[in-house]
Structure 1
């Protein structure tokens, strides 16, 4: 019987142990997609207690607390932070089998030296022990990033964002590179009630009047330029349902005017607007050498009553099961035909799509750029042992896992970097299992190099974040 969370956690062979401890464990982290606040990083936000650091905004935990019968008052409501922590401590023993049980105890051990297993009985003592540490030096937002050996962080930012805190961090010379990520979801969501007001905000941010669809595209391009000048090299899109319709700019101009006239749009018109705008943006990304990320097949805000009460990103989302192969292929093919298919990462929230994505990625590699089209890492509901394993097995079976750019946190928490450890352990266990079964040679030089590439080096080569400094330097001298 193995000991829970010992040095060999998730490593089920001697080969796996060697690969993890000798090649993966101490590598830096490139967190190329997260939802951390650049303001909180700049201010080195301190946390009053473990609830603030751990439970605020963490809808992973909120979902299982609800499933455990915890009332909303003790999740997002007006209960005290201590009461919320005690409610989480009551829930933790129930999460065995869920990665939250692993993550909870990895975070307690790695950041706070708490070896005990959290439960109702010891919750008071752990509350006191962790909070005492949080009040001391070295436990601010930046400190957690540095302690986690993070080299680069890419946040998720709206086109209208000023990027003030990215600039402040850069000017101050923070040791970790913090770069913006361009996320124009609101600009594509033409049927949403806030769209007209958002276009007004976009006009203000871009300092250009928007009276037509052409003006709208011009404003978006201005913001892409601004983000590029601030070191942005990544875009990101939440494509909950992939759809594609052939159209022209003239046709979309009419659709845009119709929306501003207050008339409802048909589903076909909505798809045409999104298709043309996304292709326009894809071209803009390609011109600047950006990476484009597409997050696909989420079914969001499913509980209307709770959405109206709490808003989005509060734990009421699920996997979508839309068929993605044909529309996604048409989108990628249209960009390819126009010589505008940039490096692209494809994620699906539905693991059913793993093989679809791996085969589609293989259809658009260019024979020049290693791993140009990536099957992105297991995401959100797939941040599990099973989910990560299935994604890597699909990729290795159909593509080149050796060119995989590895893990990201996709998190709002400064304590989530243990997910990279979790991923690296699983990666080494998969490769170690191949060796044990005679499916891969026992060659530590070969396999260790593979582990290092997937854990760190591939992402460093793929994104080339050193270019961020070059683009910012050019913007200052022009």
Structure 2
């Protein structure tokens, strides 16, 4: 069976290889945004087989299989786990040019020592070898993987109403070397037109020990939950938006809108924006007061295939890029917080890469305050966490801002096997800087450039988040 050589993957020059192997490869990982299950980490979950560990919950792979016409039964349906894996293995050779091809082979080699190209010819053998390792190797449990990849910090994504019981277990036991901390994600507080909005507020109020029958009650509950998150090590928030709202409203207007939503009344699009803007400003002030970083993930249009979303639910791989105007609302939100000197450290991610230059110029308006790179152009996200997307983001940041202050990559993943994506990013990063050296745009001073690479891979994030 042919081997897939990964030694010089994406490292197309001598300079790139020097930067990667001498400076980037051995750096620890700071995974400041992911969707990993903290309960599996707390319980040192052992995966029953390769399908559970590698395919379940991975909408990247699901979309690729659908593109090949594979029946849903073999993707998210009732087919046995082994058959799902064999289906995936048969499909991989057709994915040349897609980052899944690289990720697949990096993950097989880094986790299981398998260097052969995956196909239907060796699928049975790979299935057996990997399952044996998953069964017997403690470094392939959920917690073991974090430790094996030297993940120093892992920030999960958690709803404010979450009990954080798993995080308390992790901290109380103290058995895991990785710092696993929650991230405050209040999307459901902002989604005022969801049918279950009132029911959710009951959960939030119960978690906070606060009755929520008015806007002041909601703000009190948010304050209580933020404090609980802070005590469990949280230092980041996260928000997911299609279009970023900015429609200023005073507290009375926002309170009236909230009361009507709580009672099941109709809320206009403008009123949604007013409520969300009021809440984002309050939340931004809260984050600033606690020294948290605010993350804004902008530009996804979700659940577009209504038939399949009704069958499978959200996060099933039916989301895409939203094209829209952002400059006025982003500048407005950041300026409103900055005007009161309450702008927290902020990372702005976009799913629409035509906005990279605009975002870079926008965040440049609000830098300073004694924080190096206080506002960040977030790493290439979701559909763009591949070679060309990463290069585009890095070039925009370096051309308009200072790439030397960049806090680097994250997995944004639900899969515990996805940590080689940090390696993939580091290879792209070193490939770009290596090209600049080869083309005479940077000096061939590897210690100077290499230290910058180490900063971007880990040290900038370590200093920025302070966890």
* Same fold at TM > 0.5: yes
Q: Residue in 2 aligned with 1:376?
A: 378
* C-alpha contact (below 8 Å) 2:5/2:115 kept by paired residues: no
Unaligned runs of 5+ in 2: none
Once the two structures are superposed, residues 329-380 of structure 1 have per-residue CA deviations (whole angstroms, 9 ceiling, x without a partner) of 1011101111110100000011111111111111110252110000010000
Counting only pairs closer than 5 Å after superposition, residues 58-69 of structure 1 correspond to structure 2 as 58-69=58-69
Counterpart CA distance in 2 for 1:259 and 1:452 is: 49
Whether 1:115 and 2:106 are equivalent positions in the alignment is: no
Task: Give the superposition deviation at 1:119.
Answer: 0.7
Counterpart CA distance in 2 for 1:115 and 1:421 is: 16
Once the two structures are superposed, residues 233-270 of structure 1 have per-residue CA deviations (whole angstroms, 9 ceiling, x without a partner) of 00000021112112100011111111122221111111
Q: Residue in 2 aligned with 1:142?
A: 143
Counting only pairs closer than 5 Å after superposition, residues 155-234 of structure 1 correspond to structure 2 as 155-173=156-174, 174-234=176-236
**TM-score normalised by length of structure 1:** 0.96
Once the two structures are superposed, residues 59-96 of structure 1 have per-residue CA deviations (whole angstroms, 9 ceiling, x without a partner) of 00000001111101001100000110011112111111
* C-alpha contact (below 8 Å) 2:45/2:143 kept by paired residues: yes
Match 1:461 to one of 451, 460, 463: 463
Secondary structure of 2:416's counterpart equals coil
Secondary structure of 1:201's counterpart equals helix
Once the two structures are superposed, residues 135-182 of structure 1 have per-residue CA deviations (whole angstroms, 9 ceiling, x without a partner) of 113221111111111101000000011111111111111211000100
Counterpart CA distance in 1 for 2:248 and 2:180 is: 38
Q: Residue in 1 aligned with 2:434?
A: 432
Secondary structure of 1:347's counterpart equals strand
Counterpart CA distance in 1 for 2:7 and 2:204 is: 50
Q: Residue in 2 aligned with 1:25?
A: 25
Aligned length: 463
Counting only pairs closer than 5 Å after superposition, residues 46-57 of structure 1 correspond to structure 2 as 46-57=46-57
Counting only pairs closer than 5 Å after superposition, residues 465-476 of structure 1 correspond to structure 2 as 465=467
Secondary structure of 2:163's counterpart equals coil
Query: For the aligned residues, what is the CA RMSD?
Result: 0.9
**TM-score normalised by length of structure 2:** 0.98
Once the two structures are superposed, residues 370-421 of structure 1 have per-residue CA deviations (whole angstroms, 9 ceiling, x without a partner) of 1000001000000110000000000000000000000000001111110000
Q: Which runs of 4+ in 1 moved over 2 A?
A: 3-6
Q: Residue in 2 aligned with 1:5?
A: 5
Counterpart CA distance in 2 for 1:149 and 1:4 is: 25
Counterpart CA distance in 2 for 1:441 and 1:229 is: 46
Counterpart CA distance in 2 for 1:312 and 1:151 is: 31
Task: Give the superposition deviation at 1:134.
Answer: 1.1
Task: Give the superposition deviation at 1:4.
Answer: 4.6
Counterpart CA distance in 2 for 1:45 and 1:186 is: 28
Task: Give the superposition deviation at 1:122.
Answer: 1.2
Secondary structure of 1:30's counterpart equals strand
Q: Residue in 2 aligned with 1:84?
A: 84
Q: Residue in 1 aligned with 2:239?
A: 237
Secondary structure of 1:415's counterpart equals helix
Once the two structures are superposed, residues 25-56 of structure 1 have per-residue CA deviations (whole angstroms, 9 ceiling, x without a partner) of 01100000000000000111111111010001
Q: Residue in 2 aligned with 1:309?
A: 311
How has the CA–CA distance of structure 1 residues 79 and 4 changed in structure 2, closer, same or farther, with 3 Å as cutoff? closer
